[in-house]
Amino acid sequence: MNVTPLTYYQKNNPKINILVSLCLCLSIGSFFIIGKGHNIAGFFLIIPAILFIYPIKISELPNKFWVLTVIFFTFITIITLSILIKGGKLSYIDQPSRFIISLLIIVLLLKYPPKLIWVMLGTTIASFTGFAIAIIQTQKYNEIRAFTNIPSIPWFKGYMPIQDGDMITTIGLISACFSFYFIKTRNYPLFILSLASVVLGLSSSILSGSRGAWIILPIIFIYLIYCNKQFFINKKVCLLSLVTIGIVIVGIGQSQNFESRLTSAVNDINQFDRGNPETSLGVRLALWESAILTTKEYPLFGAGYIQRVESRKVQIETGQIPKIENVWIPMHAHNQFLEYLSVFGIVGLCAFFAVFFYPLYLFSKLDTRSLEQETLKQCGVIHILSTMGYCLTQSFFAHNSGAIFYPLILAVFLITSGAIKLKIPKGNL
């Protein structure tokens, strides 16, 4: 069952409709195929957006789209004004600008909304290719963490364990939604394929050692179970689920990388308590403390990038935060929320929250009249929640990969779920 009837454009341009769906599938599937694969993913949808976005009437675009547009532009405007007034590299505007580009993709998908199967195939390709890269790097090249940047090998140049580990975690979680959908519709071949995508995606996350990606998992699992609670009433299905979860838990428990990363985290905290901040978590804790102190000094509009660095130097000199190496002083706060709060103030943080909470609001108000629509809604909510989780321990949007991944995947589920629909012109009903 389709989420929405075919649009006027789909009916009159069936070949373009198929091409856009194929580009969407390849876009999602190309994120991990090569280092900096996120750039390829963006082009797969930007190019057809430029080619096929016209003609469309402004009156056909729904009010929800315009609200989202205002939110994205407000978010970018605050960052731009802060840099122009308080100083900072113009390149800092580059990452947030990806949100504007995503609006073009939204318009394209409004005209030619893809079906669930295309999105599912894209996530499956992403999960399988990501796992292949993770295995090759950790087994053949003996890297400690999957998705390691290896400049000497062109294919592996540009990977980032934390960013790619986060993104493939999202892919694995989204695949879980699809596995529920296909077993409910008794499509067992696609259920097995989706379930494999879940296992491979989450296994890749473990191999990446991206600890920040695991923080939000309990909340997402609870959400998934709640949304699919009727599914667990069936004893056979419940048994299958428990076996699958058991296999994953045993696999995690046997993973030396997972165990070592947890042990390292505990050790880092102990070292920080003893006055040694020069560890992965220790530096983060010092930077978080610095961001909070800076916010107290510049609460409303933030300190700006340049003054934030100067404030951090003073905080170290006066003993307000532990002394860290000079290389860390100009770095971001390793927490996206604290980063925007300290640099752009409460105003900037509110604009950033809107980027998450307005789409969440759209999904919450969605009247899901079909199983397909409900599944895509769950995918959208999980994508937002997981990204918010990543932002707790890193500046996810300080990198092109995060700045492309979040708005692009968000655009996909806002449209495919029917949260934002094209207005139907009179005479084309």
Would you call the peptide bond into 359 cis, given omega within 30 degrees of 0 as the criterion?
Answer: no
Could you tell me if 177 and 379 are in contact, meaning their C-beta atoms sit under 8 angstroms apart?
A: yes
Instruction: Report the alpha-carbon distance of residue 98 to residue 353 in Å, rounded.
Output: 17
Nearest residue to 107 via CA among 57, 165, 155: 57
DSSP line for 186-240: T-HHHHHHHHHHHHHHHHHHHHHT-GGGGTTHHHHHHHHHHHTGGGGGSHHHHHH
CA distances from 428 to 7, 239, 424 (A): 9, 49, 7
**Which residues have a Cβ under 8 Å from the Cβ of 3 and sit 6 or more positions away?**
113, 116, 370, 372, 373, 376, 416, 417, 418
Q: Are 283 and 277 in contact (CB under 8 A)?
A: yes
| Per-residue pLDDT, 7 | 67
pLDDT the model gives residue 88: 86
The pLDDT score that the predictor gives to residue 383 is 98
For residue 301, give the DSSP letter: T
Q: What is the pLDDT of residue 425?
A: 57
Ranges of the chain with pLDDT below 50: 1, 427, 429
* Separation between Cα atoms, residue 97 and residue 386, nearest integer Å: 21
CB atoms within 10 A of CB 314: 14
Nearest CA to 312 among 324, 244, 300, 48? 324
Quick one: which of 155, 159, 246 has its CA closest to 207? 159
Residue 270 and residue 257 in contact, taking contact as beta carbons nearer than 8 Å:
no
Taking residue 7's Cβ as centre, other Cβ atoms within 10 Å add up to 20
The dihedrals phi and psi of 76, each to the nearest 5 degrees, come to -75, -35
CB 160 within 8 Å of CB 38:
no
Amino acid at site 254: Q
Tokens 């899901």, located at residue: 368
Task: Quote the tokens at residue 261.
Answer: 């990363």
Q: Tell me what pLDDT residue 1 has.
A: 46
> Token pair of 275, please?
């006055």
> What is the distance between the alpha carbons of residues 209 and 217, in angstroms, rounded to a whole number?
14
Residues near 175 by beta carbon (within 8 Å), at least 6 away in sequence: 120, 123, 124, 127, 194, 195, 197, 198, 201
Which residues have a Cβ under 8 Å from the Cβ of 163 and sit 6 or more positions away?
147, 396, 399, 401, 402
Helix-then-strand count for the chain, H and E = 16, 0
Nearest Cα to Cα of residue 28 among 101, 117, 97, 94: 117
Amino acid at 352: F
| Percent of the chain that is helix, strand, coil (3-state, to 5) | 75, 0, 25
